[in-house]
Structure 1
């Protein structure tokens, strides 16, 4: 298959015109994200099943012809594990390319395993062993070697072969509609928009905090996120999670106490100590009723743990009957929530509800049971 290395705008316009009538395009990106908040885009690979384009965004200032192609709603964009690629496009354009097809998500619905990697999937479906020697390559370095270009091309060459195979199989099984919610999540701007107001929930060590200490964390973590975005630096390089937790556990009352905290350089405090002290003070003054709260930790009794085991068995039965991954249906956390009375759960909506959710609710209500027959676990339809 022909590989076109695209490094100027004329070449880009030409290849985009050639791709513009395609029904689908296999797409992948290479990027670098160690010293920045946003990923640095290093390559964009595209394949229509006939030829491959490797676009060098470091050499082309104006990528608008490519953006027009990728955001064409008449063309399905095919990714494998699309989330990071979509995050890059959201940052570039403030919107997301759609419609989308993710071969990793569909693989779980076709029985190839949960979150299967691209290389194992190519091996399973196409019986081709991919070269993995360039996995940790520096994609920002130029010029790229022939081996690097070939490796990047393979990421879309076989993706373009996987798509029709998976689409046809999903159609045969009547499962195309099952993907709608999962794909909608990937093409929802809210999935990728920065969230300074809620980022505190992702802080390591958060379970040690309560009330005003959580209020301090919410304020500091939100400010850190905004600063990280403004400076385009990883949030951990602005202030580490450990340092944030330390500030919450031992709130500094003044500059002297603040300087005693580890992880805050003199230069950093020179510019930021006033805002940190102000946010700490604001958090301490937060009324109990206004303090953020962590979601309750679900604790099951011994009987409930046994019940959860039985319900997970039902999930596995349904998964086996439908040749899909159990994790694609439901996890233990959702089962625990279901036992405790929560009903706003993925397992109780759409196709998941049809395959397993209704059976789980029936079992909880005493309207069905599990039994062993001829050494096999089964769930009779009626009792």
Structure 2
């Protein structure tokens, strides 16, 4: 397994120009994520079937040739379990790999579980046992050892034959178009940045708060997300989620009360006064500007029975198609349907996954009558 380490722009231009001449390239990323909001990119692996390149983003100031390759729609970008890789690409380049194929999704259409790992597929389809001993490497440290580099290279080296084997089987089963739709759906979802004005909806137990308290939580959660982005700091390292909720729930108005409620000393010293000012500023907010109370699907009449009935239908479809049930309709996707029908008044601009794309043909006629 031969590979090149790319640390200069001219070298990157050369390998990317060559990669843009082939139908498909294999991609992977290695990154570190501990206290940061965004992943810290340590290495990018690129394989075009001939040249395997380990691209060093720490040494390279200009990565534009690679970003241009990602945007080149004449070349398929192949990844495995790519959700976090997509986040990396979007953060560093502002673009997504298009078109993109995820071999984990391909495997799901062939009956594998949704979280089937790369090593398991390589073992099953290629009879190769991969060494995963370097999985917890600090990929931003330099120099990387030969063992670390070989580990990273293997992820795209074996992705090449795996992809082509899976592609043959997907074609034989007639799932090509569905794979494309599912991969496109994943790209569209991962390309959306969270809206700070809706960050409060992701706070645990926000539903317990009254509208006035939600106004406080909304203000604090929006500020926390913006602060986390500004400092590239994981959300709970700015202020813990529970503490934002406590500020709203218990109408905390002093630093002493924050301490009594278990706030960290560093949270109080760095942000305490600012948080208190934000709470006080909302005293003059008119009631009509409060957020609406959060109504949970689980509290709506008939919720449990409706979930069961939809799940029975999606499970039957999954058995018919020979895929795992969660792939046809996960709990989140069933909730999407109920929210669309019960909360969003069946807004055609907010169609749920189960009633669009490849799933529509199999489940729409079974699910819509239940919703009526």
* TM range, smaller chain: 0.7 to 0.9
Instruction: Using the TM superposition, give the Cα deviation of residue 230 of structure 1 relative to its aligned residue in structure 2, in angstroms.
Output: 0.8
**Cα distance change of structure 1 residues 132 and 214 upon mapping to structure 2, 3 Å threshold:** same
- Structure-2 separation of matches of 1:357 and 1:6: 49
Secondary structure of 1:95 counterpart: coil
TM-score, normalised by the number of residues in structure 1 = 0.84
The structural deviation recorded for 1:150 is 1.0
Aligned pairs (5 A) from 1:94-133: 94-133=94-133
Pair 1:239 & 2:246 matched: no
1:302-343 deviations in whole A, cap 9, x for unaligned? x97567545533322221221112111113565577689546
- CA change 1:308–1:190 in 2 (3 A) is closer
Q: Output one character per residue of 1:78-136: Cα deviation in whole Å (capped at 9) or x when no partner.
A: 11122211111111122222111111122212211222111112222222221111111
Match of 2:164 in 1: 164
Which residue in 2 is equivalent to 1:18? Answer: 18
Distance 1:11 1:180, change over 3 A: closer
Which residue number corresponds to residue 227 of structure 2? 227
Farther-moved stretch of structure 1 (170-179 vs 129-138): 170-179
1:214, 1:248 within 8 Å by CA — same for their partners in 2? Answer: yes
1:23-42 matched pairs, under 5 angstroms: 23-42=23-42
2:207–2:293 Cα contact (<8 Å) kept? no
In structure 1, the partner of 2:274 is 275
Structure 1 stretch 180-189 or stretch 2-11: which is displaced more? Answer: 180-189
Q: 1:308 to 1:67 in 2, by over 3 A?
A: closer
**Does the 8 Å CA contact 1:308/1:335 hold for their aligned counterparts?**
yes
Contact 1:78/1:100 (<8 A) preserved:
yes
Question: 1:176 — aligned with what?
Answer: 176
Query: Which one has the largest radius of gyration?
Result: 1
CA contact (8 A) 1:112 1:121 kept: no
Match of 1:345 in 2: 352
Match of residue 76 from structure 2:
76
More helix by share: 2
Give the total of aligned pairs: 363
1:137 matched residue in structure 2: 137
> CA 1:191/1:213 → structure 2, altered by over 3 Å: closer, same or farther?
farther
CA distance 1:300–1:337, change in 2 (3 Å): farther
1:204-235 per-position Cα deviation (integer Å, ceiling 9, x unaligned): 33343232222211110110111111111111
C-alpha displacement of 1:272:
3.7
Partner of 1:378: none
> What is the CA distance between 1:241 and its match in structure 2?
0.8
- The separation in 2 between residues aligned to 1:67 and 1:307, in whole angstroms, is 45
Q: Once the 2 structures are TM-superposed, how far is the Cα of residue 11 of structure 1 from its aligned partner?
A: 2.5
CA gap of 1:242–1:70, structure 2 versus 1, over 3 A, is same
* Corresponding residue of 1:252: 252
- What is the match of residue 375 of structure 1? none
Cα RMSD for the two superposed structures? 2.8
Post-superposition Cα deviations, 1:333-383, rounded to whole Å, max 9, x if no partner, equal 655776895464322223212223323445777xxxxxxxxxxxxxxxxxx
- Trace 1:350-365 onto structure 2 (pairs within 5 A): 350-361=357-368
Q: Is the 8 Å Cα contact of residues 27 and 79 (structure 1) preserved in structure 2?
A: yes
Q: Indicate if the aligned counterparts of 1:211 and 1:288 stay in contact, CA closer than 8 A.
A: no
**Which consecutive residues of structure 2, in runs of 5 or more, have no partner in the other structure?**
none
Residue 329 in structure 1 maps to residue 328 in structure 2: yes
Would the aligned equivalents of 1:33 and 1:40 in 2 still touch at CA under 8 Å? yes
Residues 271 and 298 (structure 1), Cα distance of their counterparts in 2 relative to 1, 3 Å cut: closer
Cα distance in 1, alignment partners of residues 236 and 166 from structure 2: 39
3-state SS in 2 of match to 1:2 = coil
- Structure 1 residue runs without a partner (length 5+): 366-383
CA contact (8 A) 2:207 2:296 kept: no
| Change over 3 Å in CA distance of 1:222–1:337 after alignment to 2 | closer
